[in-house]
Amino acid sequence: MTTDSRTYLDPEVIEKISGLELKARLIVEGFISGLHKSPFRGSSVEFAEHREYVPGDDMRFLDWKVFGKTDRLYIKRYEEETNLDAHVVVDASASMAYDSRDHKGPSKFEYSCWGAAAIAHLITSQQDTCGLVLFDEKIRTVMPAASNKAHLMNRLRELESADPRGGTGVARGLGAAGEAVRRRGLVVMFSDLMDDSAEILKGIKQVRNRGHEVLLFHVLAHDEVTFPFDRLTKFEGMESADELTADPVSLRTAYLDEVKQFRRRLRRVCLANRIDLVEMDTADSLGVVLSAYLAKRAAVRRR
């Protein structure tokens, strides 16, 4: 009897698996690898080479002139398609340490690391290059993009050894990634985006002005999305010394409305700047969220 790999996509199950590389591989093999094999590839005006057509390739890129001469189907490949330069950016600020009120779920940082590892695994498995940026209010680490397994393992070890602390500097994290990408490429960020909205917009514009594509995974803990507290509770700031003891029932409506408005503003900013935004809840199956987005992305590119 074979084990259904999708069982490994449950956050509680993933958390029990040792080794970030294994977690990344199981997530990818469980759902993502069955998608269009190159969901991150783009197309550029700079033609690079031909390769033989295989079922599932986009028919728009068939070279009919070559077919007329050889009676064989070939796909035009482009420079951007053959050499995607990507950087995964992970928020390691103190607010990312939050997990849940019962401490049974993964923290936002753990969930983000799993997602970042899966994306890096997927990109490098396509023979494209992937780097890593870790940040809090400052830049902690910038690891250059590379495509081989040894470099991937170095990046995963960096994620495994990191611990969330300090304030949040989204603009710095995005800016560092934008500078690290050597040519037009992809910047993928995992963050709760607990930062000033003007700073977030500043970082987004820095990357977009360099011609890079931006993908934001907005990671929130399930408690932050649902606010399930029902008795007198002391709320402590994770990036400050502030604390507040309050009846959460009286705060719930106003709090949930503020979260709704924040997400709405974020969607508008991303739409205006042609940025893909994926909202993530740490209680959701990571593989399902990633595969749904990548399937949508692949379908858009095929059209």
- My answer on whether 26 and 93 are in the same domain is yes
| Structural domain contains residue 212 | yes
pLDDT of residue 47: 45
CB 212 within 8 A of CB 174: no
22 assigned to some structural domain:
yes
Whether residue 42 is contained in a domain is answered as no
pLDDT in tens, 60-76: 777 788 778 778 887 76
Cβ-count burial of 227 within 10 angstroms (0-12 exposed, 13-18 middle, 19+ buried)? middle
This prediction has a pTM of 0.79
Assigned domain for 154 exists:
yes
Domain CATH code at residue 151: 3.40.50.410
pLDDT, residue 230, reads: 85
Which residues of the chain fall short of a pLDDT of 70? 1-9, 30-51, 53-58, 76-83, 301-303
- What pLDDT, on a 0 to 100 scale, did the predictor assign at position 197? 86
Q: What is the pLDDT of residues 188-202, one digit of tens each?
A: 999 999 998 899 999
SS3 of 133, please? Answer: strand
Q: Which domain holds residue 266?
A: 5-37+84-302
Structure tokens at 172: 């710095």
